[in-house]
Amino acid sequence: MTPASGTFLHVPPRTEGAPADVVVLGVPYDVATHPYRVGSRMGPDHIRALSAQTRRYLADRDGDPLSALAVVDAGNVALTPGRPEPAYQAIEAAVREILDAGAVPLTFGGDGAVTLPQLRAVAARHPDLVVVHLDAHTDAYPVDPDDPYTNATTFTHAVDEKLLDPAASVHIGTRGTTSVAGVVEYARRLGYQVIPMPELRATGIAEVARGLTTALEGRPVYVCWDMDVFDPSVAPGVCTPEWGGLTAAEGIEMLRALSGLRAVAVDVNTVSPPHDPAGLTGSLAARIALEFLYSLADGR
């Protein structure tokens, strides 16, 4: 691990042997092959810094998750961005250590590529794993053998490696432009459920969330929250912004509606500080992480 410039919400840094319910972990990695927007490797400390503006209590929710849960910050995984194999090994080992200690990892990426090594660690502990993935993109694109590990192929590898149950897993919020035709159909052929943004809005957040929490009751869930599920009007600092996304209020509504899930890992990723000059995206990511802490506390 490498120390962060500060801790998330000023929680204590992790110390060896101390018990914890939730461990915050930064994953400062991106694949560095995006044609226009590279910078998510700096996301973890950006979210931490902007969490200083986030106070610990929510006016419209009861409780105090930082008292109900022992939350610590483990700093960042020591790795070199753009070097997938050694980086993936380091990420998997760091997440596995948190799980072995009986804690829930709450991770800050990094781009969508950071999810695959985390899934490897979580699936080793929870063989019945399902994923709820909120993102403008499925990240389940066809794999190019010459460039297999990218932020677009995470969930293709997850199926190939049998890390999750695709029939019970779901991609929510898909929309916008793509570099490959037929990506939604391809994800469905892999076995995934896909709920594009127009379908989410037509069905309604509450109804979609109700169906998921009922179908997944009791099952271990890896929640992957890519910040580009939000519209770039509220979260401009992401790798691949797509118009027509969730408003901040809709995102918080969705997260709260999914609070009945048995979340065994939470992955908030794709905040790109160079594209977030006003700090809106980092600040919203910190709020999303706090909302997750409230949900984890409720689950306890």
For residue 59, is pLDDT > 90? Answer: yes
Task: Identify the residue with better confidence: 33 or 236.
Answer: 236
> What is the band of 95 on the pLDDT scale with cuts at 50, 70, 90?
very high
Do 69 and 300 form a contact (C-beta atoms < 8 A)? Answer: yes
300 pLDDT above the threshold of 80 = no
Q: How far apart are CA 223 and CA 134, in angstroms?
A: 8
Lowest mean pLDDT among 19-23, 29-33, 195-199: 29-33
Confidence at 64, pLDDT banded by 50, 70, 90: very high
> Confidence class of residue 49 from pLDDT cuts 50, 70 and 90?
very high
Cis-peptide into 110, omega within 30 deg: yes
Is pLDDT of 33 > 80? no
- pLDDT at site 4: 72
Residue-level pLDDT at 2: 81
The answer to whether residue 286 scores a pLDDT higher than 90 is: yes
Identify the bridge partners of residue 162 per DSSP, sorted by sequence position: none
159, pLDDT greater than 90:
yes
8 pLDDT more than 80: yes
Q: Among residues 84, 22, 79, 78, which one has the least CA distance to residue 223?
A: 22
Asked if pLDDT for residue 285 goes beyond 80, the answer is yes
- Mean pLDDT score, 83-95: 96
Q: Say if residue 6's pLDDT is above 90.
A: no
* pTM for this predicted structure: 0.96
Quote the pLDDT of residue 18: 84
Q: For position 17, what pLDDT does the model report?
A: 78
Give the position of tokens 């950006």. 46
Report percent pLDDT > 90 for the chain: 89
- Mean per-residue pLDDT of the chain: 95
Residues 214-273: tens digit of each pLDDT: 999 999 999 999 999 999 999 999 999 999 999 999 999 999 999 999 999 999 999 999
> Across residues 134-146, what is the average pLDDT?
95
Q: How far is CA 155 from CA 21, 158, 177, 191, in A?
A: 27, 5, 19, 11
| pLDDT for position 140 | 97
pLDDT of the residue at 36: 75
Of the pLDDT bands very low, low, confident and very high (cuts 50, 70, 90), residue 299 is: confident
Which domains does the chain possess? 8-299 (3.40.800.10)
